[in-house]
Structure 1
Amino acid sequence: MSRRQRHDLDALLRSAPKTAYATVEEARASFDRMFDAPAPDGVTVREGALAGRPALEIEAGDRAGDTVVLYLHGGGYVVGSPRTHAALAGELTRRARTRLVSLDYRLAPEHPFPAAVEDALAAYRELLERGARPAGIALAGDSAGGGLAIATLLAAREAGLPMPAAAVLFSPWADLTLTGDSMETKQGLDPIFDRSDIEGYRAHYLGARDPSAPTASPALADLTGLPPLLVQAGSNELLLDDAVRLAARAAADGVDVTLRVWGGLPHVFQHQYGSVEEAGQALDDAVSFLSRAHAAAAAEDLVS
């Protein structure tokens, strides 16, 4: 993408009105309006349920194999739903030629930490109980959903559940202590957030709970035993260091991890796959990563 295209995308994102919402309901309604794009052609979308929670089941028309992605949407644990992320999750599904289940986990402040982790863990457990092979399951998520995906893996590890084949994380929010340097150095460069926005989401989600708890801030946790991870981010986001530090911690703990940062791009730029070349490249990279991870996990199953 040219420098001009990056400038235009940045200008577009900055032109979105910034409103101090009086209520969480108003914030949710605004987010729903902003992210109202449908799933792409080439996939089918059905209402479903997983572990007692609503879910969207998205399946590619030319599905190949029996793999499934458990998708966890972003929105600071406060806003968003499978519907707001149907376009992004659907495009990942279409390119991967797979099946995806996007979980409608409980949101804060009505259901604060660790409700989202409990729901995601229960969903993963039910996929296993329904007969899905761990080698055929992957987790994916964006922003808070990316952090939640790692938290789910940590909770599954502690519960003694087998690990899935892999996890894909788009701009994960993985440090709720907000101690990454990019929280300051990217202030003003980030066209979407400022620090107060992120502090507000944290307050709704955590309340007075410890932000350094492993399933709140997995970038600070022991990640030993987790499956291969793909972490993607844009260089112009306040949460850049969440991605960088998460990847570094995973590597230090012996996890197979790939980190890719795209220069000059914002938080969860993968949403722009229809208009930004790098967004499509990022999704293609995710598909290739998942294919390799599933193949490796299946081969390991045969050996064992």
Structure 2
Amino acid sequence: MSTPHLTDPLGIAYAEWSEEFVANPEMSLRMMRWVFEDWQRVTAEPEDVTYKSTEFGGVPGILVTPLAADPGQVLVFLHGGGFALGSSASHRKLAGHVASACGATGFVADFRRAPEHPYPAQLDDTTAVFDALVESGIDSADIAFVGDSAGANIAIATALRMRRRGTAGPGLVLTISPWLDMENSGETIETNNDTDFLITREGLQGNIDRYLSGGASPRDPLVNPLYADFSGFPPLYITAADVESLYADAARLHTLAAEAGVDVTFDVAAGQQHVFPLQAGRWPAADEAIATMAAWYRGRRNADAHRRTATSASA
């Protein structure tokens, strides 16, 4: 893939990474993890946000507290990185921008990563965080999962798993450039190859092999939500770029959720890179996407508050 003239911070970073990956085809996983910590470089530091290293349910991470945020509303952020890369550090600034726009607090979870900890360790950790928040007094309906790329997979799968176990799950699920297809069959992996400066089919397969090294099937709905029944799923927000290689995953998710009667919104960004909201504070399209996401969040939260008030009044 040739490197075009780029102006957006994320496209420049992805092109630089791709050059390093091509020049170092035997790059170790440890080195790849160091490279992906560079994600935070493209995000501006949000104003009036504090951070604290802490844990919920034994899972470490970073607590994100915007000024005047509602402590009773919590966004659980699940970072991307193919289940093997990325961290709370690489995503804390993005979480700060999103939480501030939503008027909520946030927790960026450092869930266990593959291949040292293959599926379902990631879902176990997200469930532990959720359960700990509920035990601390947060209403389950006031917890939202926010995930990008592989983190979006974890967010969706954890909500599906909670429904399967018959307990209350998150009130909302918000996804950015979701990666769901563990069969690596999405058509836009090929058709958008020249416009996506990070994703390759080979790279995806390497992360799939790490994630499923414990023997899980790539068709298990909790591994590949494109095989899931979304009936009864909470309100779902999806944003993705039309030129990214994983666009087909987002489009298929939207179709499945809509057919199941889910309250689902699909916001398509033109000409942007994978997880483009990471450029918050430095790229207009990223700021616009976060504002749209926050407006959706606030709208669903207000509707839920009215519903609870009406239910209480009629009781």
TM over 0.5: yes
| Residue identity in the other structure for 1:31 | F
Q: 1:81 aligns with which of 65, 73, 87?
A: 87
**Which shifted more, 127-136 or 107-116?**
127-136
Report the CA distance between 1:67 and its aligned residue.
0.9
Q: Which has the higher mean CA deviation after the structures are superposed, 205-214 or 225-234?
A: 205-214
Q: Secondary structure at the match of 1:230?
A: strand
Unaligned 5+ runs, structure 1? 1-5
SS at structure 1 position matched to 2:237 = strand
| One-letter identity of the residue aligned with 1:156 | M
Q: 1:137 corresponds to which letter in structure 2?
A: I
The SS at the match of 1:67 is strand
Task: Give the structure 2 partner of residue 126 of structure 1.
Answer: 132
User: In the alignment, is the contact (CA less than 8 A) between 2:33 and 2:85 conserved in 1?
Assistant: yes
**3-state SS in 2 of match to 1:127:** helix
Structure 1 stretch displaced more, 205-214 or 241-250: 205-214
Q: In the TM superposition, what whole-angstrom CA distance separates every residue of 1:40-64 from its partner, at most 9, and x where no partner exists?
A: 2211100110111102100111224
State the Cα deviation string for residues 175-217 of structure 1 (Å, max 9, x = none): 1112221122112221111111111111111124211111111
Residue 277 of structure 2 aligns to a residue in which SS?
helix
User: 2:244 pairs with 233, 237, 254, which one?
Assistant: 237
Q: What secondary structure is seen at the aligned counterpart in 2 of 1:146?
A: helix
State whether structure 2 residue 281 is matched by structure 1 residue 277: no
State yes or no: 1:204 paired with 2:204: no
Residue of structure 2 equivalent to 1:3: none
Compute the displacement of 1:303 (Å). 3.6
The answer for the alignment partner of 2:7 in structure 1 is: 8
Deviates more, 1:245-254 or 1:8-17: 8-17
User: Where does residue 303 of structure 2 map in the other structure?
Assistant: 296
**Shift in alpha-carbon separation, 1:200–1:246, aligned structure 2, 3 A:** same
1:15 deviates by: 3.6
Q: CA deviation at 1:14?
A: 2.1
Distance 1:293 1:265 in 2: 26
Q: Which amino acid aligns with 1:220?
A: Y
Alpha-carbon deviations, 1:219-268, whole Å to 9, x = none?
22111111111100011211101111011101111101000111111100
Q: CA deviation at 1:95?
A: 1.7
Check the 8 A contact 2:50/2:65 in 1, yes or no: yes
Secondary structure of residue in 2 paired with 1:84: helix
Percent identical pairs in the alignment equals 32
CA RMSD of aligned residues (A): 1.9
Assess if the C-alpha contact under 8 Å between 2:49 and 2:100 holds in 1.
yes
Equivalence for 2:156: 150
Structure 2: where are the runs of 5+ without partners?
A: none
Matches of 2:114 and 2:49, distance apart in 1: 30
Distance apart, 1:77 and its partner CA: 0.3
Alpha-carbon contact 1:82-1:104 (below 8 Å) kept: yes
Moved more, 54-63 or 13-22: 13-22
Q: Which residue of 2 aligns with 1:63?
A: 69
Matches within 5 A, 1:95-106: 95-106=101-112
The one-letter amino acid paired with 1:14 is A
Q: Alpha-carbon deviation of 1:21?
A: 4.5
- Residues 212, 220 of structure 1: 8 Å contact kept: yes
Q: 1:59 to 1:11 in 2, by over 3 A?
A: closer
Say which SS state the counterpart of residue 8 (structure 1) adopts.
coil
CA 1:33 to 1:65, structure 2 compared with 1: closer, same or farther past 3 Å?
A: closer
Aligned to 2:35: 30
Q: Contact 2:45–2:281 (CA<8 Å) still a contact in 1? A: no
- Alpha-carbon distance, 1:38 to partner: 7.4
CA distance in 1 between partners of 2:167 and 2:26 (Å)? 40
CA distance in 2, matches of 1:230, 1:210: 26
Give how far 1:7 is off. 4.7
| TM value normalised by structure 1 | 0.93
Post-superposition shift, 1:69? Answer: 0.5
Kindly report which structure 2 residues correspond to 1:161-176, keeping only aligned pairs within 5 A, or say none: 161-176=167-182
Task: Say whether residues 1:193 and 2:195 are aligned partners.
Answer: no
**SS of alignment partner, residue 261 of structure 1:** strand
Query: Contact conserved, 1:136 with 1:298, CA < 8 A, in 2?
Result: no
SS in 2 for 1:58: strand
- For 2:169 and 2:62, how far apart are their aligned partners in 1? 23
Structure 2 residue aligned with 1:18, among 14, 17, 20? 20
